[in-house]
C-alpha cells in the first residue's frame, strides 16, 4: 500500500512540475513572440527612414541595418562638407566687409581648394573690377593641372565675384591641392 501511495505522490509531483514547466515555457514563448514583433516593427520603422537607393534589393535585416549605418556615415560626411563650405563662404563674405582703407587686402583673391565626391571643389573669390582674373584664366590653370570642369556656379556678393567650381581629377597623384590653391591666389 505504501508503495502505491508513494507512486501516486511522485506522479502528482511530476504533473505539478510538468504543469509549471509548461506554464514557464508558454510564458517564455509569449515574451519571445512579443520581442520578435517589436523588433520587426522597429526594423520596418528604420527601413522607412532610409532612402530607396540605400535599401534597394536588400532583404535581410542585417543588410538593412548595415545600410542604415552606411547612410548615417554618408550624412555625417555631408554635414562636415557643408559645414566647411558654410565656413568658407562666411570667410569670403567677411572679406567683402573690409574697410576701404584695406583696399590691397580686397584685391587679393580668396581661394579654397578641397577634395569632394566628384574630385576637387574650388571656391574662388575676387573683386569685380578690371585687372582681376577672368573665369577663363581660372579654367586654364585647372586644365594645366589635369582637372576637367564638371560644374561651376558664379555669383556676385557686394563687389566680389565668387565662383564655385567642381572638377574631376584625371590622376589624383599628380595634383597638389595646396600648390593649386597658392597658384590661384596669386593670379592677376
pLDDT digits (tens, 9 = 90+) for 13-62: 556 556 678 888 899 999 999 999 999 898 888 888 888 777 777 678 88
Residue of 117, 125, 127 lying closest to 89 (CA atoms): 125
Q: In the prediction, which pLDDT does 33 show?
A: 95
Q: Rounded CA gap, 163 and 123, in Å?
A: 6
pLDDT digits (tens, 9 = 90+) for 94-138: 654 444 444 444 456 778 888 777 788 888 887 766 555 577 788
Residue 169 pLDDT greater than 60, yes or no? yes
Q: In the prediction, which pLDDT does 141 show?
A: 83
Residue 68's CB is within 10 A of a number of other CB atoms, namely 17
pTM: 0.43
Element (H, E) at 44: helix 2-49
CA dihedral 143, 145, 148, 149 (to 10 degrees): -70
Amino acid at each position: 500500500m505504501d508503495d502505491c501511495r508513494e507512486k501516486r505522490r511522485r506522479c502528482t509531483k511530476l504533473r505539478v512540475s510538468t504543469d509549471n514547466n509548461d506554464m514557464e515555457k508558454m510564458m517564455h514563448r509569449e515574451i519571445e513572440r512579443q520581442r520578435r514583433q517589436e523588433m520587426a516593427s522597429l526594423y520596418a520603422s528604420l527601413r522607412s527612414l532610409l532612402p530607396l537607393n540605400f535599401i534597394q534589393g536588400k532583404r535581410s535585416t542585417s543588410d538593412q541595418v548595415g545600410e542604415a549605418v552606411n547612410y548615417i556615415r554618408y550624412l555625417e560626411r555631408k554635414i562636415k562638407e557643408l559645414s566647411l563650405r558654410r565656413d568658407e563662404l562666411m570667410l569670403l563674405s567677411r572679406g567683402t566687409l573690409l574697410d576701404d582703407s584695406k583696399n590691397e587686402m580686397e584685391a587679393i583673391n580668396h581661394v579654397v581648394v578641397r577634395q569632394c565626391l566628384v574630385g576637387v571643389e574650388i571656391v574662388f573669390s575676387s573683386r569685380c573690377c578690371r585687372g582681376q582674373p577672368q573665369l577663363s584664366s581660372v579654367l586654364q590653370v585647372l586644365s594645366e593641372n589635369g582637372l576637367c570642369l564638371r560644374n561651376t556656379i558664379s555669383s556676385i556678393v557686394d563687389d566680389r565675384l565668387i565662383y564655385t567650381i567642381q572638377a574631376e581629377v584625371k590622376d589624383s597623384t599628380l595634383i597638389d591641392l595646396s600648390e593649386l590653391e597658392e597658384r590661384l591666389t596669386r593670379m592677376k
